[in-house]
Amino acid sequence: MTINQAFEILKDAGGIRAARIITDNTKYFSRIRVWRMACALRRGVPVAKIIHQKWFYGIPFYTNKYTLDPRPDTETLVAAVIADNPAAPKILDLGTGTGCIIISLVKNIHGAHGVGIDISRGAIRVARQNIKNFDLSDKIKITRASFDTPHAVHEKFDIIVSNPPYIARDDARVDAGARHDPRVALYADRDGAAAYESIARYAKNWIAPGGKIYLEIGDGMEKTVRKIFENAGWKFIRAECDLGNIVRVLVFKI
C-alpha cells in the first residue's frame, strides 16, 4: 500500500490532521496495519496511542495504553518549576506516568536529578523506556510505590512535583480521548481530592528544608486543594494559570 492510499483511508476514518500525523510518523504501510489504525480512529483512540508518541515541552515521548498521554496543560507545571530557577535540585515526581515531567525538568535545569514513582508496572516500563531514550538513566531513577504511604520514598527532595488523578468519578466533562487512558491515572475518590489529601499528609516526610511542592490541579479545584494543604500545615506560595487562563498549578512549602 502506498502512503497516499493509506492517507486517504486514515483521513476518512479520523480526519486530515490525524491522517497527516500518522503517515508522517509511520515507516511502512500494510493493508492490515492501516485497517487497524483506521478502526482505532473510528473508536476515538487518540493519535498518540496509535503511533505511541506524544510531544511534550518540545520533546517526543513514548506512550501507550498504560499511561496518560502528556497534555499541554501539564507544561504549565514544568514551566512553574523552571521559572523558580532552582540550583541543581533533587526532584521527586509523584505518579510519574510517562516520566514526561521529571524528564523535561532534568533536561532543562542544570544539575537536576531525582526519582519518579508510580504504582502501575506498565507506566514504570514506559517511564524507564523514555529515560533510556534520552540517556538519563544516571540522573533519574524510577521505582514502584504509591504516594498514599509514608514509606513511598526514604529521601528528602528540594522539589516535589505531581500531576495526580483529580477527576471525580462521576464527572461528565472527560473528553473522548481520555477514555483510552488508564482510569487509575485519571479518577480519584472524594470528588477528585483523595490524591491531594494523601500527598498533603505524606509529602512532608519527603521535602527538604526550603523545598517546594508543585501540583497540577483540575479546573475549579483551587480552593479545595489550598484548603487541604493549608490544613495539613503547608504554606501557599502562588498559583499559575495555563494558556486558557485556568488556574492549573499550585505551589506550596512547609
CATH of 65-253, one of 3.30.200.20, 2.60.40.10, 3.40.50.150, 3.40.50.1820: 3.40.50.150
Name the pLDDT band for 235 (thresholds 50, 70, 90): very high
Q: What is the pLDDT of residue 10?
A: 96
Neighbours of 209 (CB within 10 A): 8
Domain ranges of the chain: 3-43, 65-253
Q: Which three cell numbers stand for residue 230?
A: 493549608
Q: What is the pLDDT of residue 172?
A: 64
Of 1, 7, 69, 10, residue with least CA distance to 39: 10
Q: Which three cell numbers stand for residue 87?
A: 540550583
Q: What is the pLDDT of residue 169?
A: 79
pLDDT in tens, 194-204: 999 999 999 99
pLDDT in tens, 102-154: 999 999 999 999 999 999 999 999 999 999 999 999 999 999 999 888 888 99
Answer whether 166's CB lies under 8 Å from 188's CB: yes
Name the pLDDT band for 173 (thresholds 50, 70, 90): low
